[in-house]
Structure 1
Amino acid sequence: MINKIQLKNWRSHLDTDLEFTSGTNAILGPMGSGKSSVMNAICFGLFGTFPDLQTRKIKLDDIIMNKPSVKNESQISVDFTIDDKTYTVMRVIERNKGTTYSEIREGDKLLDSPNAQRVTELVEKLLKINYELFSRAIYSEQNGLDYFLRLSRGERMKRIDNLLMIDKFEGARSNAVTLRNRLAEKKDALQSVADIEDFKELKKNLDDIDYSLKKLNETKSNLSKEFDEKKINMKSLEKEVKELEGIEKTLNTLNNRKNSLEGSMKEVKHSIDNFRKDANDKTLDVSHEELKDTEKLIKKHQEELNKSRKEQEALTRNISENETKIGFLESKIKEIQTDISKKLELENKISSIEKEFGKNLIQALEKKKEELEAIQRTNSELLTKIEQTEESLSKISKTHDKCPVCESKISTERRSSLIADYQDRIKSYNGSLKENKEAFAALKQMVKETGEASKNFEIYSEKIKEFKGIEKEIEEKKKDHRTLIEAVSRKKQDLEKNRSGISEIEESLEKSKNKQQQLKSAIEKLIDLKDKEEKFSNLENQLEELNKEISGCSKKTSDKNLEKLRITLTETASRISEISARINGLVEIILERENRRKDCQIKIQQAEKQKEEIKLLESLVLGLKIFEKALEKTQTQLRENFVDTVNYTMDQIWPDIYPYKDFGSARLGIKERDYILQVQSSSGEWIDVDGIVSGGERSIASLALRIAFSSVLAPQLKWLVLDEPTHNLDSKAVEDLSETLKTRVGDFADQVFLITHEKTLENAVTGQLYRLSRNKELDDFSRIEKVN
């Protein structure tokens, strides 16, 4: 039993708590009041989804409250009892994040969290149903009572078979057919191979292969012997050729070095001659002395340049600082000019106030207040006189021949005269009072205006004091501004002269540096000349040593023919390659023959095994055919048993929910591989509900089917959820449905949830009744009223 549900920020529900009992519980309200949201929340709390979310009519973020205020998180909690144990499921949805937390508790004990899928699996285990079964058998969503009738023929059988898990038997039967076909194909293939193979031919082939292998191995042995002899001879030749090639290579290297040395000597000799021409008979010492003088001059120019640049930086900094001060003064002058304008404006305002109210505002204000008090006193006196005169008038009007004051007798004429006099007095007093009130209102407005003017006068006067001495200050700032302008102009002239002097120093410095570079280059050439002369002497010594080595190598090769040895080596290598290729070819042929021999042996061994395997496959194919028939018969029997149980249940409840006599019962039939919902006419004929009966009859038949499905498919729960079940029903059918839900629902359901706008169904409630309301024009929250 579902005991309680809590909704926070769920669609239009801000913070809703609903408690339920056994029997029929109803949630009543107009369209858009949030009724269906409650049932969707129960479904989501238990299984993490509901039909509109499952079919993607809405997104998860749409569940979180958007109106009248936008929330970022929604929370749902469902409390239910199974087998005398109470469980609570809680789920949290965050905007743009989905379901961020889920938990399930048994009492205060946490069973699982925070994974939504694991929590759903535990709920399904406890309830012994999944979402698909709950949404199709127990929960009839709004306008979804006839869900199974709206499905196409093939789809209807598929969905109901899925609820019964008959589809698993069909899957097993389909797999069995596939396996049987594969085994039959394998048997036929083995039979085909067994028929083709000739065992005598296989034995003859084996003998031929053995003889061929003997001859091939003899040829391979002879070639291997020759290969080894040639290999030894080739190693000796390779050693001799390698020694001669080494001497020849050394000789070539020595000749190349000789040629290189002779070229280097020629190049060095040419460089020495050129250096001697460029030196102009200058010695190294003279060049070094001239370089020192040039470097002293460069140092002097550099010092002058650094000094001038420091002066330039000081001038630039001074100009920049003064220009900053000038900018500041200009900004300050503008501010003071603005303040002068403000002061002038305030003085004009004070002048206007004095012109309108006079110079002594406080005295004028006090005088007006005294006048107000005088009028108030006069009005109080007039009201007292009016009250006294009216009292006298009232008394004399009630008496006939006595004076109300002294109780003496008065004539009728005197009494009439007194009444007229009192009335005239009252009229006069009221006239004066009216004039005084008008004068009071005008004087009060004048006091208010004078007070405001006096207050403003004080404020303006205080503000003017803030601007004291401002004219003198602006003159001082302007004087400072002119002084700085003149100073900046003088510094800029000095800066220009400084820049000119720096250019002249830089030009002299550049000339000295060029001369310094030329002297350094000349000194380097003189040093290089000395090095080259020493190098030339070394090269001459190296050339003499090379000539001796070349002569020694030439003597070692004079008595041997290297080319003839190379030809002999090449012929030997060619013969070795030829023999190796023949041996490799023989190895491949021998390997191929041995593989063929092995294949023949394997085929002979496998022949008998194939016969045994064919017998086994024939036995398995026959067994699978029997298994297929059994599965098909089981599906048919399960459907028939299910239909019989559903029809028995519908036959029991039909008289309770259908108020007329034209249809005596309803049933679920199987026709042309599909489930058909039918009703029985008074003549005993069974008529298809789909497309023939009226909308109301169709709805009641669908309701009966839903109740039967709930009782048969989820007997352990005995829950039923009906969202707007009165669609297409007339008033009598609605009244009978109400009576059934009230008095006879306990026979097939322990707990019913009724979502409706139909007030007649209030009479059906045996559990809790809630009325929902919501001001849709203001996008208000859903309001809950618990009726009982």
Structure 2
Amino acid sequence: MIKTIKLENWKTHYNTELDFSKGTNVIVGKMGSGKSSIMDAISFALYGTFPTLATRKVNLEETIMAKPNKQETAKITLGFDYNDKEYSVERIVKRKGINEGTLREAGKIIAGPKTTETTKKIEEILEVSYELFSRAIYSEQNQIDFFLKLSPAQRKEKFDELLGLDKYEKVRTNSVTLTNRLKRTIDDRKKFLHEQKNKSDPNELENYEKRISEKEKTLNDKEKENSELEKHINEKEKILKQLEEKEKENKFLKELEIQSKAKTEALTEQLKTNREKLKGTKPEELEGKIKENKKILDRGEKETEKIEKEIGIIEGKVSKIKEEIAVQNNLLNSNSKSVSDAQKLDSDCPICKRPLSEHDKKKLEEELKEEEEKIHEKTKELSLHLEKETKDLEKRDEEVGKIGEKNEVIEKEINELERLKEIASELSEKEKQKNDLEKEMEKVREMMKKTGFDEKEHEKHEKEFLGLKEKNAELRTEISSGKELLKELTESVKRIKETEHQIKALGIQIKENERTTEKLAIFTSALKSTQGELRNMMVETVNQAMEEIWPRIYPYKDFLNVKIIVEDGSYEVMVKQRNEQWARVEGILSGGERSSAAITLRIAISLVLTQNLGWIILDEPTHNLDINAVKELSDTMRNHLPELIEQIFIITHDKEMENAASGKLYSLEREKEKDAPTKALGF
């Protein structure tokens, strides 16, 4: 039984606290006063959701009070007992952060704060899921006659959902779909198996294996042949390396021989040239000529030295004569000036300063002229002497020149003789060098013979080596190609075996699928039979419950009973008339009678599906009822329904329904124009 509920900032409820009791609890209020919010809160406290939230007509944040002041959290606290145990569940909704849910048993936390953990624990305790709660216990606003408004076919579908039989139908449909799919798969696989068998050649595997055996033998022979060939190649390679070493040594000696020969030929040519230059002259003869020429040269040098001394004496005389001539020229110039000056004098002597007479002047001029003539005479005499000495000097110079020329010729001859002497001296040395080179060449030839290198033999071995390498390359190619072919043949054998294995496995799989199809057919048939039996059993149980409930809900004698009849897969709701005839509800009952039938059906379903809970919630059950029907419904809810259901909740705007209260009665008020919170008044 639900005992208390407290709403804090939940929709229009700022701080609403309600107590409930057994019997019919009625909550009355105008539209928008917060009536349905209480039932939504009961559902949310138990299961963390309610119908309009589950169908996403509202979101959770919209449950938090927004007017007159926006709140950040909403809290619901619900107290209930079950199986003689006291429980309290608390749910907190937050605009920001993680929502919380906590369940307590006798004040001790047994689940939470995770909301899903709390919901799961409540479902375990009540043995009722939210799906069943929303179908069997909680009748949404104006939906009490929901089942009566449906067509018979729709009613069957909804009843199957409500009673959980739709799951069987889904399983059966899936089973039929799976069976058909398996049959198609079996047909496809049989067709594929037949095609594969037609394609396969029974002798193909044997032929491939025979070819593999032959190819393996051929490859083995080729590899043995190639192994022997590679031994020969290695041996031949060693021989070639030895020959290459000899060839290298022989080549070096050959080059040495060529160099020696070139040097010998050069020396021979030099010897020939030198002999031609000497023209048979012997070294001692050359030495005698050199000595003789040196004596001539020595005499010439002495003669030159003597003449040069004489030239020095003559040059001294010439110099002295030139000096004397210069003195005479100076005297002549001085005398000429004196004569000129004397002619210009008036009375005084330029030397003694005595007065001069004409006679003295004349005498002075004569003396000066006489002196001038003497000077000329002396100068002429000196000039003749100078000319004589100069000629003698020139003669001496000419003699020195001739001696010098002769000496140069002699020196050249001496130099040539010296050169010839050197050539004569080198001649024997070069002869020795030539002899040494010829001996060295002979040694080189001997060494070349000792190497034992034979060019033809080398060419022969090289040709044989290349032939072996070529054969080796051919064998390698053949072996590689053979291995590739062997690999392809092996892959083909593997593929054939895999295909045979797949064909065999496919055959087994087809048989297994056929057995599965047979089992599915049996399962589908059994499921359909079970579904029919369960539907009949459930409908019969609901009908039995309605037969017991109807007289208590509807105490009049014009309609004796109400039940569900299954016809052609449709559910018809029928009433039994006084004449024992059954008639469809849609065509005969008034509004109040329909409400009684709807309540009977709702209670019967609730009792069948939630036998241990004993709750039912009806939101606006008077929808579309007239005054008399409302009065009848109110009387039924007060006097008869509590005999069947331990606790009933009625949410209504109709004042007449206050009379239905056998438990608690609350009137909700709210000043909507001021966005005021809900106020709950208890009676």
TM-score (norm 1): 0.52
Counterpart in the other structure of 2:620: 724
Structure 2: gaps (5+ residues) = 245-457
Moved more, 559-568 or 171-180: 559-568
Counterpart in the other structure of 2:119: 120
Counterpart CA distance in 1 for 2:151 and 2:96 is 37
Q: Identical aligned pairs, as a percentage?
A: 40
Deviation string 1:314-360 (CA, Å, 9 cap, x unpaired) is: xxxxxxxxxxxxxxxxxxxxxxxxxxxxxxxxxxxxxxxxxxxxxxx
Counterpart CA distance in 2 for 1:600 and 1:627 is 34
1:516-531 matches, cutoff 5 A = none
- Tell me how far 1:5 sits from its aligned partner: 0.6
- Tell me how far 1:68 sits from its aligned partner: 1.9
The match for 1:582 among 482, 497, 506 is: 482
**Contact 2:103/2:118 (CA < 8 Å) preserved in 1?**
yes
**Contact 1:234/1:569 (CA < 8 Å) preserved in 2?**
yes
Counterpart in the other structure of 1:676: 572
- Tell me how far 1:567 sits from its aligned partner: 9.9
Counterpart in the other structure of 2:540: 644
What is the identity, as a one-letter code, of the residue corresponding to 2:545?
A: T
- Tell me how far 1:629 sits from its aligned partner: 1.8
What is the identity, as a one-letter code, of the residue corresponding to 1:80?
A: F
**Contact 1:24/1:764 (CA < 8 Å) preserved in 2?**
yes
Counterpart in the other structure of 1:626: 522
Counterpart CA distance in 1 for 2:177 and 2:485 is 49
1:611-622 matches, cutoff 5 A = 621-622=517-518
Does residue 168 of the first structure (1) align with residue 167 of the second (2)? yes
1:613-762 matches, cutoff 5 A = 621-658=517-554, 663-680=559-576, 686-689=582-585, 696-762=592-658
**Contact 1:659/1:736 (CA < 8 Å) preserved in 2?**
no
Counterpart CA distance in 2 for 1:156 and 1:222 is 88
Counterpart in the other structure of 2:7: 7
**Contact 2:8/2:74 (CA < 8 Å) preserved in 1?**
yes
Counterpart in the other structure of 2:139: 140
Counterpart CA distance in 2 for 1:74 and 1:726 is 31
**Contact 2:89/2:103 (CA < 8 Å) preserved in 1?**
yes
Counterpart CA distance in 1 for 2:182 and 2:44 is 48
Does residue 770 of the first structure (1) align with residue 666 of the second (2)? yes
**Contact 2:222/2:475 (CA < 8 Å) preserved in 1?**
no
SS class of match (1:88): strand
Counterpart in the other structure of 1:30: 30
**Residues 9 and 644 of structure 1: is their aligned pair in 2 closer, same or farther, counting only changes over 3 Å?**
same
Counterpart CA distance in 1 for 2:589 and 2:164 is 31
Counterpart CA distance in 2 for 1:230 and 1:596 is 38
C-alpha RMSD over aligned residues:
4.2
SS class of match (1:160): helix
SS class of match (1:707): helix
Aligned residues: 469
What is the identity, as a one-letter code, of the residue corresponding to 2:120?
A: E
SS class of match (2:37): helix
What is the identity, as a one-letter code, of the residue corresponding to 1:580?
A: S
- Tell me how far 1:10 sits from its aligned partner: 0.8
Counterpart in the other structure of 1:218: 217
**Contact 1:741/1:764 (CA < 8 Å) preserved in 2?**
yes
**Contact 2:546/2:563 (CA < 8 Å) preserved in 1?**
yes
**Contact 1:64/1:93 (CA < 8 Å) preserved in 2?**
yes
- Tell me how far 1:156 sits from its aligned partner: 4.3
- Tell me how far 1:564 sits from its aligned partner: 12
Counterpart in the other structure of 1:389: none
What is the identity, as a one-letter code, of the residue corresponding to 1:649?
A: A
- Tell me how far 1:176 sits from its aligned partner: 4.1
**Residues 89 and 593 of structure 1: is their aligned pair in 2 closer, same or farther, counting only changes over 3 Å?**
closer
Deviation string 1:519-542 (CA, Å, 9 cap, x unpaired) is: xxxxxxxxxxxxxxxxxxxxxxxx
Counterpart CA distance in 1 for 2:82 and 2:605 is 20
Counterpart CA distance in 2 for 1:653 and 1:601 is 68
**Residues 663 and 586 of structure 1: is their aligned pair in 2 closer, same or farther, counting only changes over 3 Å?**
same
- Tell me how far 1:71 sits from its aligned partner: 0.8
Moved more, 101-110 or 690-699: 690-699
- Tell me how far 1:119 sits from its aligned partner: 0.8
- Tell me how far 1:576 sits from its aligned partner: 2.3
Deviation string 1:492-551 (CA, Å, 9 cap, x unpaired) is: xxxxxxxxxxxxxxxxxxxxxxxxxxxxxxxxxxxxxxxxxxxxxxxxxxxxxxxxxxxx
- Tell me how far 1:716 sits from its aligned partner: 0.6
Counterpart in the other structure of 1:94: 94
What is the identity, as a one-letter code, of the residue corresponding to 2:104?
A: R
**Residues 33 and 240 of structure 1: is their aligned pair in 2 closer, same or farther, counting only changes over 3 Å?**
farther
**Contact 1:36/1:723 (CA < 8 Å) preserved in 2?**
yes
**Contact 2:193/2:506 (CA < 8 Å) preserved in 1?**
yes
SS class of match (1:728): coil
Counterpart in the other structure of 1:403: none
SS class of match (1:744): helix
Counterpart CA distance in 2 for 1:241 and 1:719 is 112
**Contact 1:227/1:580 (CA < 8 Å) preserved in 2?**
no
Structure 1: gaps (5+ residues) = 246-557
1:290-689 matches, cutoff 5 A = 572-573=472-473, 576-590=476-490, 592-593=492-493, 596=496, 621-658=517-554, 663-680=559-576, 686-689=582-585
**Contact 1:234/1:573 (CA < 8 Å) preserved in 2?**
no
Deviation string 1:342-400 (CA, Å, 9 cap, x unpaired) is: xxxxxxxxxxxxxxxxxxxxxxxxxxxxxxxxxxxxxxxxxxxxxxxxxxxxxxxxxxx
Larger Rg: 2
What is the identity, as a one-letter code, of the residue corresponding to 1:34?
A: G
What is the identity, as a one-letter code, of the residue corresponding to 2:135?
A: R
Deviation string 1:45-79 (CA, Å, 9 cap, x unpaired) is: 00101111112222211111111221111000111
SS class of match (1:666): strand
Deviation string 1:240-271 (CA, Å, 9 cap, x unpaired) is: 999999xxxxxxxxxxxxxxxxxxxxxxxxxx
What is the identity, as a one-letter code, of the residue corresponding to 1:747?
A: E
**Residues 151 and 563 of structure 1: is their aligned pair in 2 closer, same or farther, counting only changes over 3 Å?**
farther
SS class of match (2:25): strand
SS class of match (1:7): strand
SS class of match (2:99): strand
